[in-house]
Every structure is written in C-alpha cells, then in structure tokens.
C-alpha cells in the first residue's frame, strides 16, 4: 500500500512541479518591399506571398533581405537586415518576443508579440520610396 | 617456547607464512625431536594425499547427470493456472489511476495555461516612427497578425487593405 501511495504522490508531484521551459525556437525574419508598381513575382516569397496578398493588398512584394536566428528561452538576438534595418529580439515566456525594429539609430517600431508556428507576424508600414517596408517574423 | 607454539610456527613456515624475524625466534627450538617427527608426519600425509587416485567421471556422465537434474527440477515446478480471481486488484487499480493521472499531466503540459491563453498575440505596440501611429489587425483566416504603422501620407502610398 505504501508503494501505491508513493507512486501516486510522485505522479502528483510530476504534475505540479514539471518545469515548462520552452525549447529554443528558430525565428525567420524577412524584409520585404511592398508596392503597387508592376513587377514579376518574387519566387523567394512563395511561402509568404499568399499570406500577404489577402491582408495587405499591394500589387507586388520584393524580398530585400532574409535572416534566421535561434532564440532560446529568455535569450535575446540581433537580426541584421538590408540597408541598416535591424531587429532586436528578446524572448520572454513561451513564444512571446519583444521586437524592436530600427533603421540605423532610428527606432521605427517596438512591440511585444506572441509568435506562433504557421501564423506569421507582419510588421510594416515604413515608407520606402513608392512603397512600404514590411518585416515578417515566422517560427521555422 | 611451548611445543604447541613451535608446531604452529613450523606449520606456518611450511606454508610460507612465517616472517623472517619470527623464523629467527624459532631457531634453537627446545622440542627439536618432536618437531622433526611432526614435520615428517605432515610430509607423509601430504604425499599420501597427492598419490591418492581420485576417480573423475567421464564428461558424458556428468552432462547426463546435469540434464537429469534439470528435467527433475522442471517436472517439480507446479503449473500455475491464471485466473481473473488471482489478479492483484489493488495493483490493477493503482496502475489505472497512475495512467489516468499521467494522461492529465500530459494534457496539462500540452495545453497553454489559462494565463497564457488569455494573453492576446500582440501585448503592446509603440509606433516610434515620427508622426506615425500603430494599428493591429489579426487575420482570422490565415492567423497572421499585422502591426501596421499609419503615417500621414498613408492615403497616397499603397492600398493596404487593413
């Protein structure tokens, strides 16, 4: 009987104190120029083009830079993109990430967002010529 | 030195266990004749034992004996009939409870906690581009979250459908 009680107690403890530290996640960032100027489809954007079009409704999307970074739980990372654009990522609990988007020393946008697999996070609206700059964040 | 002590020393000497300083102490023994007699007797007994023929059975006989013994042991083992009534219901109940609890623990680990589930995808946004404001939009169809900087010239650039 003591053995059974011990097993039950161990299982109870397992349920109560099991650490829920999240595994490292690989975040892929893309810097994209969206505009309404006619241009051929950028094949490098096939994975996100179909997601961007219904939401943003620009005519064309052109990939300017792409980079990936592995973010362990609680870690921070810097993602350098094209033309002085830099993303500072600070991972919080689970898949929550604080993102700061800068161009050179100018901060453009900061946010705290939860990243989810197969659900891109799109930061955008920064004017660039006749178009707008977009940054997509996705868990790989 | 007593005879018994000297006999013991002699025995240890024959066995190679006597240390050098003990051997020196034993020299000039008082009972030399008795010791010599004992040593001779031990030697004779040793030789007698060594010369005695010990019958060794052939390997086949020994193997047959082993097999026979094995057959007898297996024949003696009682056949146990398994019956539902012989089950240890206490252990069965405990195992079932453990499995159920493990299932609960697994579900608990897989599901987000209540606090996490209540947090929206976008917790906060700061539009830091001068003159801009931020708009947050979540597309239900794709699950995509859009954080868009609205600038004064928004109306003239693009046709962001958000």
Count of other CB atoms within 10 angstroms of residue A96: 17
Residues ≥6 apart with Cβ < 8 Å to B42? B11, B14
Q: Do B121 and A116 touch (CB under 8 A)?
A: yes
Picking from B126, B129, B120, B135, the residue whose alpha carbon sits closest to that of residue A56 is B135
Which of B148, B150, B153, B156 should one mutate to test binding to chain A, selecting the residue with the greatest count of A CBs within 10 A?
A: B148
Do the chains contact at A4 and B90, CB–CB below 8 Å?
yes
Q: Which domain holds residue B136?
A: 121-154
Q: Is residue B95 part of a domain?
A: no
Nearest residue of A to residue B131, measured between CA atoms: A108
pLDDT at A78 over 90: yes
Q: Nearest chain A Cα to B99, which residue?
A: A11
- Please tell me the predicted confidence (pLDDT) of residue B159: 44
d(CA A11, CA A14): 5
**Residue A121 neighbours by CB under 8 Å, 6+ apart:** A113, A115, A136, A137, A138, B121, B144, B145, B147
Which residues, in sequence order, are CB contacts of B72 under 8 Å at separation 6+? none
Q: How close B77 comes to chain A (CA, Å)?
A: 30
Residue B61: inside a domain: yes
How many domains does chain B fold into? 2
CB contact under 8 A, B153 and A131: no
- B59 and B4 both lie in a single domain: yes
Contact list in B for residue A38 (CB cut-off 8 A) is none
| Domain-located, residue B40 | yes
pLDDT at A60 over 80: yes
Q: Choose between A12 and B72: higher pLDDT.
A: B72
pLDDT score for B100? 92
Query: What stretches in chain B show pLDDT beneath 50?
Result: 156-159
**Mutation to test the A interface, candidates B104, B143, B144, B155, most A Cβ within 10 Å:** B144
CB contact under 8 A, B145 and A120: yes
B46 falls within a domain: yes
Where is the domain boundary, B76, B96, B131?
B76
Query: Per the domain annotation, does B128 fall within a domain?
Result: yes
Asked if B122 and A109 come within 8 Å (Cβ–Cβ), the reply is: no
Whether A23 contacts chain B with CB within 8 A: no
Give chain B positions within 8 Å (CB) of A111. Answer: 122-126, 134, 147
Output b/e per residue, B71-98; b: 16+ Cβ within 10 A.
Answer: eeeeeeeeeeeeeeeeeeeeeeebeeee
Of A55, A58, A127, the CB nearest to B151: A127
Residues of A within 8 A of B159 (CB-CB) are: 36, 57-58
**pLDDT score recorded for residue B114:** 58
Domain annotation covers residue B89:
no
Domain boundaries, chain A: 22-139
How does pLDDT run across A81-128, given as a tens digit for each residue?
988 999 999 999 888 999 999 999 999 999 999 999 888 999 999 999
Whether residue B132 sits in one domain with residue B68: no
Structural contact between residues A122 and A134, judged by C-beta atoms closer than 8 angstroms: yes
Using the 3D structure, point to which of B51, B76, B101 is the last residue of a domain: B76
> What are the structure tokens assigned to A45, written together?
């954007």
Partner A contacted by B15 (CB < 8 A): no
pLDDT for B156: 41
| B142–chain A Cβ distance below 8 A for any pair | yes
Q: Which residue of B has its CA nearest to A9?
A: B98
B137 and B70 part of one domain? no
Min Cα distance B87 → chain A (Å) is 16
The reported pLDDT for the residue numbered B157 is: 42
Residue B54 lies in a domain: yes
Asked, for residue B13, whether it belongs to a domain, the answer is yes
């Amino acid at each position: 009987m003591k053995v059974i009680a011990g097993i039950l107690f161990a299982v109870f403890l397992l349920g109560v104190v099991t650490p829920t530290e999240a595994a490292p996640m690989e975040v892929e960032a893309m810097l994209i120029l969206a505009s309404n100027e006619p241009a051929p489809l950028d094949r490098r954007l096939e994975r996100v083009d179909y997601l961007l079009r219904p939401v943003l409704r620009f005519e064309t999307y052109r990939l300017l830079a792409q980079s990936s970074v592995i973010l362990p739980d609680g870690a921070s990372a810097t993602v350098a993109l094209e033309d002085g654009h830099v993303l500072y990522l600070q991972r919080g609990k689970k898949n929550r990430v604080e993102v700061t988007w800068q161009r050179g020393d100018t901060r453009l946008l900061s946010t705290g967002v939860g990243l989810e697999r197969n659900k891109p996070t799109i930061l955008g609206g920064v004017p660039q010529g006749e178009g707008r700059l977009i940054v997509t964040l996705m868990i790989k | 030195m007593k005879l018994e002590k000297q006999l013991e020393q002699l025995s240890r000497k024959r066995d190679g266990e006597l240390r050098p300083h003990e051997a020196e102490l034993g020299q000039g023994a008082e009972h030399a004749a008795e010791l010599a007699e004992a040593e001779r007797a031990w030697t004779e007994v040793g030789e007698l034992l060594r010369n005695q023929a010990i019958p060794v059975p052939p390997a086949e006989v020994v193997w047959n004996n082993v097999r026979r013994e094995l057959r007898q042991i297996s024949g003696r083992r009682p056949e146990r009939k398994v019956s539902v009534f012989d089950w240890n219901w206490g252990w069965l109940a405990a195992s079932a409870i453990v499995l159920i609890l493990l299932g609960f623990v697994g579900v608990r680990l897989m599901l987000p906690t209540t606090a996490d589930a209540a947090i929206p995808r976008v917790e906060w946004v700061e539009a830091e581009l001068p003159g801009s404001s931020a708009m947050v939009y979540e597309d239900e169809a794709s699950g995509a979250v859009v954080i868009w900087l609205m600038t004064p010239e928004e109306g003239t650039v693009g046709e962001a459908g958000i």
